[in-house]
Amino acid sequence: MKRYVLHALMFLALPHVSTAGEKLLLYSDATMTSSSISDDTPRIANFYVVNTDMTGQVGLRFSVKPGPGFTGVWLSDNSSYSTVGNTPTDISVGYGLCLPGPVLVVTVSYQLFGTSSPCSELRVAPADGFPVVVAASSGCFFIEVPILEIGRIDVNCPLATEATTWGKVKSLYRQ
C-alpha cells in the first residue's frame, strides 16, 4: 500500500500534456552503444536504461519486461536517484532536480542461463496498469509527458549480413 501511495505522490501534481522527443533506451553495455546480447553461457548481465533527447526532466515511470523466449531472471535494480518499486513491474524514478539528457536512469541486473530463444527480447514498457511510459516534466516544466521512443535489447539475434564480392572488400582498403 505504501508503494502505491508513494507512486501517486510522485505524479499527483502533474497535469497531463503531450510532447515529442523524449527517449528511454535500453543498452547491453556500459558504453551505451549496443542493444543486443548473446545469451550463450550462464552469467550475470547488466542492462542500462538511459533517458535521452530530453530538454529536462525530474523523473520517470516505467517497467522492463522480457519478451517471449527470454529466460533470464531479474536480480536487482541500481540507480543514483530516488526510486519506488522495481523494474519488472513498476518503477518510479525521481531525479531530485531538473536534468537534461542523457541520464543513466537505472542499471538492471539479470541472471542469464544460456537458454534464451533466438531473437527474444528485453524491452522498456509501461508500468503495470498504465498505457504509456511517462516522464515527469518536459523542459523543466512540471508536466507529465509520454515517452515516444522506448528501447529494447535483442537477445540471440543473428547479425545482419550482406552479399558482397572480394573486389568490394579490397576497395575498402585502397588509398
In the chain the first and final C-alpha atoms are separated, in Å, by 67
* Number of domains the chain contains: 1
CATH number (domain holding residue 107):
2.60.40.680
Q: How confident is the prediction along the chain (175 residues), in pLDDT tens digits per residue?
A: 444 434 443 443 333 333 445 789 999 999 999 999 999 999 999 999 998 877 778 888 999 999 999 999 999 999 999 999 999 999 999 988 888 878 999 999 999 999 999 999 999 999 988 888 887 766 676 677 788 788 999 999 986 555 677 777 667 677 6
How many Å apart are CA 85 and CA 5, to the nearest integer?
Answer: 11
Q: Which residues span the domain enclosing 155? A: 2-171
Q: For residues 137 and 56, what is the distance between their CA atoms, to the nearest angstrom?
A: 7
pLDDT at 8: 41
CB-side neighbour CA atoms (13 Å) of 161:
5
Residue 9, helix vs strand vs coil: helix
| Predicted pLDDT of residue 13 | 36
The span from the CA of 58 to the CA of 103, in Å, is 11
* pTM, two decimal places: 0.78
- Between CA 38 and CA 15 the distance in angstroms is 42
